[in-house]
Structures are given as structure tokens and as C-alpha cells.
A and B are shown apart, each in its own frame.
Chain A
Amino acid sequence: MTAIVPVPEQVRTNPRSLHGPPRFDVVHRLVANRRVIAGLVIVVPFVALALFFPVLPFRPPNASSLGDRLSSPSLSHPFGTDTLGRDQLSRTVAGARISIMVGVLAAAISISLGMLIGTVAGYFGGWVDSIVSAVLNVFLSFPGLLIGLLLVAVFGPGVWQIVAAVSIAFTPRAARLQRASVLSMRNRPYMDAARQAAAPTWWILLRHVVPNTVSPMLVVGSIFTADAILIEATISFTGLGIVPPTPSWGSIIKGGQAVLREAWWISLVPAMCLIVFAIGLHLLADGTRQVIDPSEQLEKQR
């Protein structure tokens, strides 16, 4: 037997692993994605206008001036006026404020609640899951719009009522998505590793389940916002939900319905805003999904 060559135990660090952690990488890639940029270009101005509306020099949205009623777009009234002579531009922006707020709130509430319910159902399984899934399935068999309408009819008109209605309508969808996410990662080895360290369940849920399932929810959040705004508009359009004089895109469109032939601008402008804003949100969502979806990344690496 001859001498064995000495074996240094220390492993040199792979030069690849000295790059920055993936977190910053994600932000870089997000900003570089075309859809994300396009989405932001649309969404940010809307949100900014809506947010800063009170301090911007718009005419009061509810100030009627019957002498100017139904005037077409002009320099003093860039979006025209409606049947009561109210400035459409300021009403549209005020409407944006309400609509976007409803959309964002409803999306946020339904996603939070949905994540809670979905996580419980997905992680614990068994009879808890069976009961929750059954309830969810009942809700999911109705279109969100229908549920929203029903609830608004029960709750009555008003901004908060509609937020509640849309949230309830969307929560089951979020819950189902979250449940699927949780099911797919529940038995991954790193979960076993946490269990064998005798980590309590709440620890595992908070430190492992939630962070690893939150990404798809962000994408969904953007889409929910768009959907929520559309549903709010539809409900308000029927006369329920947000009623005049409170401006929201839906109620403004409704208000212009009767005079569509003479004063097309009343309904058209908020409708266009609705469409464009929804597209912007969808672009944002799709771009974000492109960046964070692992299977897309794998394709790029090939």
C-alpha cells in the first residue's frame, strides 16, 4: 500500500455563488420586463391622479351648473359636462378615486381572507379541507358578478357595501388558488426539515408556507383589482351599489346611458378609462408572472 495523496477537506466556494442574492435580482428583472413597464405606465398615472385628486385644481365634481349642461368637450370642460352640468373631467377622476379604491380594497381583503382560508384547508387537509372545499365549491359555482349583485341587494347601496360584496365574491377564488399552492408545497423536503426540528405548526405556516405561496397571489391581486373594478362598475351601472351623486365609473356610465346619442362623452370617457386601466393591471400582472414564474425562468436558462 503506497501513500495516499493528502486530501484538503475545505471546499472552495463556487465563484457562481458569490453573485447577489436572488431577491435583488428579481427587482431588476421586474423593472426590465416590458409588460411590467407598460402596465406601470398606465396604472401609475391613474393611481396618482386618483390619490392626489383633492389637492389638484379640478372643479368640484358635484358642482352642477345647469347652464352648461350636456356641453361637448371643450377647453373649459375637456371631457364635457353631464346632464346636470357637472364637469366630466373632474367627475371621471373622482370616479377613478372611488373605483380604484373599491378595486384595491376588495382585492386586498379577498386575497388576505382567501390566503387564510386556503392555507388552513390546504395544510391541514382531512375533514377541515373537505368542509372548507365544499363551501368554496358552492360559492364558486356562481359567477362573481351574481354574488356581488345579490349581496349588494341585501346590503343596500354605498361604497363600503360594495367593497364588502365584491370581497365576499372573490374570496373563494383566492382561497382555492392558495389551497392549490399550499397542497403543492406542503410535503416538500424543506417542510419535513422544519418538522424534524420540532417547529410548531404556526412557525411552519408563517415562515415557510406563506412566503413560498405569496408570489402567485401578487399576480392574482392585480387581476382581482381589475375584475373588482369591472364588477363594481357593472353593479353600479344597474343602479345598485354606488348611486349618484357619488361618482364612480360605473355610476357615471349609467348616468350617461339615457343621453348616449346626444352626449356620448359622458358614458364613453369612464368606459375607456375602465378598459385602459384594466388592461394596465393585466399587463402588470402578466409581466410579474413572467418574472417570478419558475418554469419561465427555466426556459430562459436553456
Chain B
Amino acid sequence: MSVAPLLSVRDLHVQFGARRSVVRAVNGVDFDLAPGERFAVVGESGSGKSVMSLALLRLLPRNALIPSGTIRLAGRDVLSLTERDLGRLRGRDAAMVFQDPMSSLNPVLRIGRQITAPMRRHLGADEDHAHARAVELLGEVGLPDPERAMRTFPHELSGGMRQRVLIAMALSCRPSLIIADEPTTALDVTVQAQIIRLLTRLSEEHSVAMILVTHDLGIVARFAQRVAVMYGGRFVEVGTVDEIFYDPRHPYTEGLLRSIPHTGAERTELLYQIDGFPPDPTSLPPGCAFEPRCTCSIEVCRNQVPALEGEEGGHAARCWVAVGDRVHRRVELVR
């Protein structure tokens, strides 16, 4: 990376519970994020993607434990910040947009009050300035009547509009990073498209780096510049969006891409299906987490977790079989 990374994560581990069963949600995540970059983390339920995104701003519940790892955001070590400094970080340097807009907004406060809160707190803005900027932001995120919207309560708005309000709030203190955890899952398809388009535009216009956590590969294809595929608490493949979709190296990535009915694909064939089921985070296998479902695993896969191999900062995969010849597999993506 030629520019200094905005966010730098090394060897991040997150686990829950102690007594009998430990839930190993995140098991060694490394990545860098460039300023203004749009980064997507794809995974299924149980892959650890949400937990990882919460960990970045230390928003995990009390029973979560980060036994090891470093997170450097804008030059500061997030994991060693005091509560006070953390409070300054959240909302100002980095903001988060969650999946369910209704539970992220206080139902008894008007929108205006909520959206100006971060500005008043972090930037010390007075009421009038904050109000003006809020109206400006609401217009920018596409709310039809921003002044009126300021006076409404959350339940008076639709899901799509609420999510826009949250995005406006996230932008209000001009953060360098926005983390969005499944921001469109609860929304209708057409509204989803609007929100994704909005996020893309905002990222470009304001040079805000974005981490989008999702399970929808279509959204990834539309939105992301770089992608990480997550499975069993680890990144199993990282690369640019073209690399991931057109040259997948990890069997999971490949299987996933092939199992999704592509609207351009042949109709008459059965879909490729990945056998088995996602791993149980309380009992991960000693080796590669995907091995039980993998059609091309070899002995070492069962015993040892593969390292993330590939070009430094470029396309990399965590698989003993991936890089190198795949003579035994002889498969190609059906396009």
C-alpha cells in the first residue's frame, strides 16, 4: 500500500464465554484499509463478521474477550484507549450504521435532536450550527423535506428513510471511516438499491472509507472495491472485487459463487451446492474450518490452519490447495 493505511488490524481474536464452551467468534483477522476505500466483508451467519465489525470500535458486549490483536485507527491503538478517548473516537473518527434502523433511533426523541447530538458532543457545535448542518445532511442523503423531517419522530418515517437518517448521523462529524453492518438487510429491494447507491456516492464525494458487512454477494459486486470473505472467524480470501469474483482461490469462495443462481446463468442445470453446514463456533476443527465441506481437501487441511498466502496487500487465500496447481479439480466457474 503506497498510502499509509487508515485502519490496520493484526491478528484480531474475539471470544465469548468462559466456563464450558468458548465461542470463538473471530480467530485471527488481519487487514489494512486505505483512506476512502470501500471494503466489504462477506460471510454467513456464524462467520464472525458482525462481531469483528463491532470489535473495531469496541462495541462488544461485556462478556466478550479480545485475547489478542491490535487495531490501529488513524494512528491510534483502539484496544488500549481509555473510555474517554474511545468516546471521542466513536462518532467522530469512525461511525457505525447498524442493521435495524428502528432500534438505533430513540423512539421518544425527535430526529432533529438525535441527529445533532453527535455534532454537539464531538464538535462542540451550538444548536443553530448543528441544526443547519443536519438539514444539509438530510438533504444530501435524499430525504424529501429535511426541515420537516427534523421535527418528526422515528416511527413516522419508513425504514428506508430511517436508515438514511442514520447515515446522515454517521456523516455528521466527518469521520474518516464508516462501518455499516448489514445496513440493508431489513429493507425492501428497491430501497436497498437506493441506500447502496447513496453509500457509494457519499464514499466517493467525501472520501470516507467504508467497511460494509454483508451476506449478499450482489451488494458486494455493486458496492465494494476490495472484499474479504469470512468463514469460521477468519478471512479465507481477500482481494479486489474483480479478483474475488473472477479468480476465486478459496474453495469456499468458489463454491459460494457457483451456488448462487446468477441471473445470467443457465436455467436448466442444478445449482452447485456446498455440502454440509457452517461450522459451530464453539467447536471449530483444529485445521481449516472449511475442511469438512471441502471437496478438494488434503491431509494437512484437517490438522493445520492454513496461513493467508498471496501477494502482500493483494489477492490472498487461506488454503493449502488454493495457490498453485489445481490439476485434480478441473473445474471452472460457469458463467
Contact = CB atoms under 8 A, between A and B. Distances in A.
B302 to A, nearest CB: 16
Contacts of B45: none
B334 interface: yes
Given A14-B277, A302-B63, A7 B270 contact: yes
Contact of B61 (A2, A14, A15, A302): A302
A16 B63 CA distance: 24
B280 A12 contact: no
Interface string B261-293: 000000001101101110010000000000000
A12 B275 CA distance: 8
B330 interface: yes
A11 B276 contact: yes
A7 B61 contact: no
A11 B273 CA distance: 11
B3 interface: no
Interface string A125-168: 00000000000000000000000000000000000000000000
Contacts of A302: 16, 61, 63
A12 B276 contact: yes
B295 interface: yes
A16 B280 contact: yes
A8 B275 contact: yes
Nearest to B331: A5
Contacts of A12: 275-276
Given A302-B16, A302-B63, A4 B276 contact: no
B332 interface: yes
B273 A7 contact: yes
A1 B295 contact: no
Nearest to B270: A7
Contacts of A2: 330-332
B7 to A, nearest CB: 27
A127 B277 CA distance: 48
A56 interface: no
Contacts of B277: 11, 14
B121 to A, nearest CB: 30
Contacts of A48: none
Interface in B1-26: 16
Nearest to A13: B277
Contacts of B329: 5
Nearest to A16: B280
Contacts of B273: 7
A3 interface: yes
A2 B330 CA distance: 8
Contacts of B334: 1
A8 B270 CA distance: 12
Interface in B39-82: 61, 63
Contacts of B63: 302
Interface in A260-282: none
A1 B330 CA distance: 11
Contacts of A14: 277
B16 A7 contact: no
A16 B61 CA distance: 26
A14 B275 CA distance: 12
Contacts of A11: 275-277
A7 B276 contact: no
A302 B21 CA distance: 11
A2 B272 CA distance: 13
Contacts of B275: 7-8, 11-12
A195 to B, nearest CB: 29
Contacts of A7: 270, 272-273, 275
A214 to B, nearest CB: 30
5 contacts: A1-B334, A5-B272, A5-B331, A15-B280, A302-B16
Closest A-B pairs by Cβ, 6 of them = A2-B332, A7-B273, A5-B331, A5-B295, A14-B277, A8-B275
Interface of A: 1-5, 7-8, 11-12, 14-16, 302
Given A4-B272, A12-B275, 4 more contacts: A1-B334, A4-B331, A8-B275, A11-B277
